[in-house]
Amino acid sequence: MGPAFAIVSRDDLSLWLSGPQSSAARPIPDGRQPEPGGWNRLVIQVDDLPAKVAELTEAGLSFRNEIVTGPGGKQIVLEDSDGNPVELFEAAR
């Protein structure tokens, strides 16, 4: 994925590293910009992102943005009940 993004893996653990050229560096609709230490998040990979977003929206959960499509797939950032960001990600096929 070039200089914008990398995944480092060891055994069952994957660490995702997003640089300033990645889609994770885009501002969200309310204008907030990513900043060091403030946008660290857990990423959960799903098979069908639009279906999962519909399910979670119906359950009353809130999202920071709409689905974003980039070279690696689709993503959206959910806010958990404590305001922590959780990224839902569907890999490009």
Mean pLDDT of 44-60: 96
Q: Which of 1-5, 12-16, 37-41, 49-53 has the highest mean pLDDT?
A: 49-53
pLDDT at 57: 96
Does 89 have pLDDT greater than 80?
yes
pLDDT at 7: 83
**What is the 3-class SS of the chain, one letter each residue?**
CHHHEEEEEECCEEEEEECCCCHHHCCCCCCCCCCCCCCCCEEEECCCHHHHHHHHHHCCCEECCCCEEECCEEEEEEECCCCCEEEEEEECC
pLDDT at 2: 66
Does 35 have pLDDT greater than 80?
no
